[in-house]
Amino acid sequence: MPLSRVTFWIPLALIIIILTGCNPTPTANPSTPTARPTGTATTRPSPTLAPTATSTLAPSATPTPPASPTTAVSATPTETVEPSATATQVPTADDSVPIGGLDADSGDGVTIKGQVIATASFSKGFKFTVDDSTGQLVLLLWHTTYDETPVAPRLNVGATVRVTGKIGAYEGELQITPYGGSDVTVLSGGYAAAACDAGTIGEHLGERIAITGQVSRVEAAGSNAVKVYVTDESGEALVFIWNSILDRIPNANPALGTIGTQVRVTGVVEEYKGTLELIPTLPYDVEVLP
């Protein structure tokens, strides 16, 4: 073969080889990397989004449960207050029975409610006449019970009281005797006695009054009482105090035995053998002033 032809075919063959051998490889290689990134990019974001969605929902779901406890806590105080109010009202209104329907055989565990209209003392205790508009009875407090009664300072004429105890009678007088000091409750306070001058107590015989003045002298009245004379600008009044009361007057010793001590005394004006006396019936009827 002539050299010119060989020279022609060699370049032609090289061109064909180059064209047919290079094109298949570039076509296949680019398609594979392109497909992987595309598929990988589509697949990877999904796991990334799933935790993100979970993290977002978890906090949203978490605030929701606390909302319920918050509501429950708000409701609880309301429900707690209501029973407390009910518990306070029921005993005072529903547990008490009319005094007028009681008798000496009414027995134990009876609760009454009424206003103290009179007080008195005797050698072993104190008496409080209680009225509820249907009837009256005596609240009997032995000294030991009176001494342990928390409301004793407020237990006086005019006070509205609630008492639970045993019903009985003595010499025809209906009585209620509480089991202890805590069985006596003062629902509202009493009223103050009319203020009078010491020198004018004779104008108020049989009345409950109050005087204010200085201790001017003190005398023994037998073995069970003392006489304390109280003086103001109008004159002098004799205050007769039984020892059972004297022993329970706050700050009485030695103040009541000291000339010049300022006192306020509430009591009933009585006359004994031609002498006017102001007689306190309870320890808190005598107040030592600063």
Q: Which helix (H) or strand (E) holds 106?
A: none
| pLDDT in single tens digits along all 290 residues of the chain | 444 444 444 454 444 444 444 444 443 333 333 333 333 333 333 333 333 333 333 333 333 344 333 333 333 333 332 333 333 333 445 589 999 999 999 999 999 999 999 999 999 999 999 999 999 999 999 999 999 999 999 999 999 999 999 999 999 999 999 999 999 999 998 888 999 999 999 999 999 999 999 999 999 999 999 999 999 999 999 999 999 999 999 999 999 999 999 999 999 999 999 999 999 999 999 999 99
Q: What is the Cβ-side half-sphere exposure of residue 266, based on CA atoms within 13 angstroms? A: 18
Within 10 A of 16 (CB to CB), how many other CB atoms are there? 10
Quickly list DSSP for 185-251: EEEE---PPEE--GGGGGGGTT-EEEEEEEEEEEEE-TTSEEEEEEEETTEEEEEEEEHHHHTTSTT
For the segment 130-189, what is each residue's pLDDT rounded down to a tens digit?
999 999 999 999 999 999 999 999 999 999 999 999 999 999 999 999 999 999 999 998
Rounded to 5 degrees, what angle do the CA atoms 42, 47, 50 make? 120
Residue 254: what are its φ and ψ, rounded to 5°?
-100, 15
Residue 205 in tokens: 């015989």
Q: Is there a contact between 165 and 183 (Cβ–Cβ < 8 Å)?
A: yes
For residue 254, is the peptide bond before it cis, meaning its omega torsion is within 30 degrees of 0? yes
Residue 94 pLDDT: 59
Q: Which two tokens stand for residue 54?
A: 């979970």
State CA 195 to chain mean position distance: 35
Tell me, what DSSP letter sits at residue 183?
A: G
pLDDT, position 114: 97
Cα-based distances in Å from 40 to 33, 34, 46, 51: 10, 10, 10, 18
Q: Identify the CA nearest to 242 among candidates 275, 278, 271.
A: 278
Given this model, what pLDDT does residue 25 score? 40
Q: What is the pTM of this model?
A: 0.67
**Largest Cα–Cα distance of the chain, in whole Å?**
181
What lies within 8 Å, CB to CB, of 164 at 6+ separation is 95, 109, 110, 111, 178, 179, 183
| 141 contacts 156 by C-beta, under 8 angstroms | no
**Residue the block writes with tokens 């009223």:** 191
